[in-house]
Amino acid sequence: MNWETLYCPNRSCCYYGIPFYEGRLVKNGSTHGFPQALCKACGSSVSLRYGTAYYGLEVEKTLFEIAIRALAEGNSIRATARIIQVDKDTVCDWLHQAARHCRHVMLYLWQNLHVTECQLDELWSFIHTKERNLPSAKFYHESYGDAWVWLAFAPVWRVVLAFVIGKRTQENANLLLDRVAHITDAHIPFFTSDQFSEYRTALLHTYGQWYQPPRKGNRGRYPKSRRVPLPELVYAQVVKIRNSNGRLVKVKNKIIFGESAQLNEKLAESPVSYTVNTSFIERENLTQRQNNRRLTRRSNGFSKKLSWFEKQLWLSMAYYHLVLPHQSLRQELLNPEPTLGTGSHRRWQPRTPAMAAGITT
């Protein structure tokens, strides 16, 4: 954190929120401790790490960063503790601190995005005990059992627009689409998904309007009003046909909202999709399972508490979007740059999904 962005943390101070050089802050503290500033107006002090994930950290930043990277690259809590040679409770404290900051950063940055295409899907996991084993389990909590991660994915940027953790219910489907509408601009994206029926109702809930059908004749009640899609909404499903053995034999497309001409126009404008598909979000599901130990199948790394499952997911999402370059998003350099070695020049500029979306630079 830079001195220029530091301000007095006292909300009752007249210089609260005013940057360092424009307020009454002066550098304070000794050379042995953490850099601090003192507000000459109210006497409050603030650390240079205030507002960052390093605030209150009593170890070297490098050790903290290695631990967080290890967690974001698919290691478990205990494996990370063995790598860093610290207690597992310390790693849990670091995860809590990093996840809280990741959540604040992503909620702040994910605003007013112009999304043209969005794919919807769910990722299965469980908390403590699998759903089928709950009747015979020794312990029970309402959060135990299936924990579905609902994802809304923008394939053009490889960005997860929103996610919801919960059961496979209509309420969570509505919540996912509401979050998508909250972070996007007025433009309605082109939606695709599998045959999960809850998405149709959720899209009507978020991108629909009430319609009153006309009364037939001059007598009797008016028909009940119903939700109808907005004219700009285009939604198509991928229909997978399987044989008796469960083997995929055919894939078809089904238009739910919109006309064929609208669908063809959306596909022609898309830089990544040439047909109705969910390939990009299914690949994103694999990425999440690889980078998140709690989502790995057939392992003992599953979450025992829902709160830690959510914290790890926020960390994994922030690491994927803001730190990890995506190979398919790289840009070719106009002028190749020389490297330190004797090999060929660097021809590609790496980019993260957040950089591709214009969220960061």
Kind and range of the H or E element at 268? Answer: helix 260-269
What is d(CA 111, CA 180) in angstroms, rounded to the nearest whole number? 10
pLDDT at 224 over 80: yes
Q: How confident is the model at residue 340 (pLDDT cuts 50, 70, 90)?
A: confident
Kindly give the pairing relationship between strand 234-242 and strand 190-193. parallel
- Residue 181: strand, helix, or coil: helix
- Residue 202: strand, helix, or coil: helix
Q: How confident is the model at residue 17 (pLDDT cuts 50, 70, 90)?
A: confident
Interval 151-184: pLDDT, tens: 999 999 999 999 999 999 999 999 999 999 999 9
Find all residues with CB under 8 Å of 189, minimum gap 6, and list them. Answer: 115, 116, 117, 118, 154, 180
Bridge partners for 315 per DSSP: none
pLDDT at 228 over 80: yes
Interval 289-300: pLDDT, tens: 999 999 999 999
User: Which pTM was predicted?
Assistant: 0.91
| Lowest-confidence pick of 29-43, 215-229, 287-301, 309-323 | 29-43
pLDDT at 308 over 90: yes
What is d(CA 238, CA 203) in angstroms, rounded to the nearest whole number? 16
What percent of the chain stands above pLDDT 70?
99
What's residue 21's pLDDT? 67
Burial 36-64 (b: 16+ CB within 10 A, else e): bbbbebeebebbbbbbebbeebeeeeeeb
* Secondary structure (DSSP) of 77-143: HHHHHHHHTS-HHHHHHHHHHHHHHHHHHHHHH--SB--SEEEEEEE--EESS-GGGGGG-SS--TT
Q: How confident is the model at residue 49 (pLDDT cuts 50, 70, 90)?
A: confident
Using alpha carbons, select from 299, 301, 287 the residue that is nearest to residue 79: 301
Q: Which residue has the higher pLDDT, 313 or 4?
A: 313
What's residue 70's pLDDT? 98
pLDDT at 138 over 70: yes
Mean pLDDT rounded to a whole number for the chain: 93
What's residue 1's pLDDT? 59
What is d(CA 294, CA 76) in angstroms, rounded to the nearest whole number? 8
pLDDT at 74 over 90: yes
| Lowest-confidence pick of 49-58, 125-134, 195-204, 250-259 | 49-58
**What mean pLDDT comes out for the span 219-242?**
93
pLDDT at 23 over 70: no
Find all residues with CB under 8 Å of 327, minimum gap 6, and list them. Answer: none
pLDDT at 127 over 80: yes
What's residue 34's pLDDT? 79
CB 36 within 8 A of CB 29: yes
CB 272 within 8 A of CB 280: yes
What's residue 53's pLDDT? 93
**What mean pLDDT comes out for the span 220-241?**
94
Q: How confident is the model at residue 47 (pLDDT cuts 50, 70, 90)?
A: confident
Task: Look up residue 103 and give its two tokens.
Answer: 């959540």
